[in-house]
Amino acid sequence: MGREKVLLDENGLREVLKKGLAVPISRLSDLEDVVIVGIYTRGVYLARRIHRYIKRIYGLNLPLGEIDINLYRDDFVRRFDFPQVRESKIPNIQDKVVVLVDDVLFTGRTVRAALDAILDVGRPSAIRLAVLVSRPGREMPICPDIVGVDVDPGQKRVYVELKEVDGQDRVVLR
């Protein structure tokens, strides 16, 4: 096990969140009816932070939702690790643009499950994907629309740590 490398510290993460995610999403909302939906677990906290920032800076109170995709996963191994099923809270998405928010886009399987889940809940006009970190390794034809930072970690893995879950804000390679 090698040493871990910090890609973004607390300040760096905050900057990427603001400039890389919150600002583009707010611009999107100028053109469309946007609903922000965070994917459990860390996507939810990122979505909440984005929502708060947009409200504070632009005065916009965008509808905010959270989605648990455990019931839609296609990989059973992950299910054994996280069997907890949480209630998804999704506001009205009829004919709106759903912006899915997640921490890391890797294989794309999580996002595929989220697409199924969203479409079972209602009929959005479009679904966009916003991720804090995008890294190579897709197993599904999924492309992010809004990316905070692109990383190629090589043999290592990227981890996003958030205060609400891990006690500190940073992005590391391990």
Partner 1 sequence: MSVWKRKDLLGLRDLSREEIAAILETAKSFKPLLFREVKKVPTLKGWTVANLFFEPSTRTRVSFELAEKRLSADTVNISSSVSSVIKGETLLDTAKNLRSLVCEIIVIRHSIAGAPHLLAKRLADVGVINAGDGINEHPTQALLDMFSMQERFGRIEGLRVLIVGDILHSRVARSNIWGLRKMKAEVSVCGPLTLMPKGIDKFARVYTNLDEALIDKDAVIFLRIQRERQNSGLFPSLREYHRLYGMTEERMGRLSSKTVIMHPGPVNRGIEMVPMVADGDRSIILEQVTNGVAVRMAILYLISTVVRR
Q: Is 81 in the site for partner 1 (CB under 8 A)?
A: yes
Q: Is 68 in the site for partner 1 (CB under 8 A)?
A: yes
Tokens (6 digits) for 11: 């300040």
Residue type at position 80: F
Which one of residues 80, 141, 155, 167 is an interface residue with partner 1 (CB under 8 A)?
A: 80
Asked if 71 interacts with partner 1 (CB under 8 A), we say: yes
Q: Closest Cα partner for 41 from 129, 173, 128, 166?
A: 166
Output the CA–CA distances (angstroms, integers) from residue 114 to 2, 13, 31, 155, in the order listed: 33, 24, 24, 27
Residue 145's identity, in one-letter code, is D
Note whether 77 binds partner 1 by CB under 8 A. Answer: no
Nearest distance in Å: CB 46, partner 1: 22
Structure-block tokens of residue 92: 């009205």
Segment 114 to 133, residues that bind partner 1, using CB under 8 A: 116-117, 119-122
Q: Which residues bind partner 1 (CB under 8 A)?
A: 68, 70-72, 76, 79-88, 116-117, 119-122
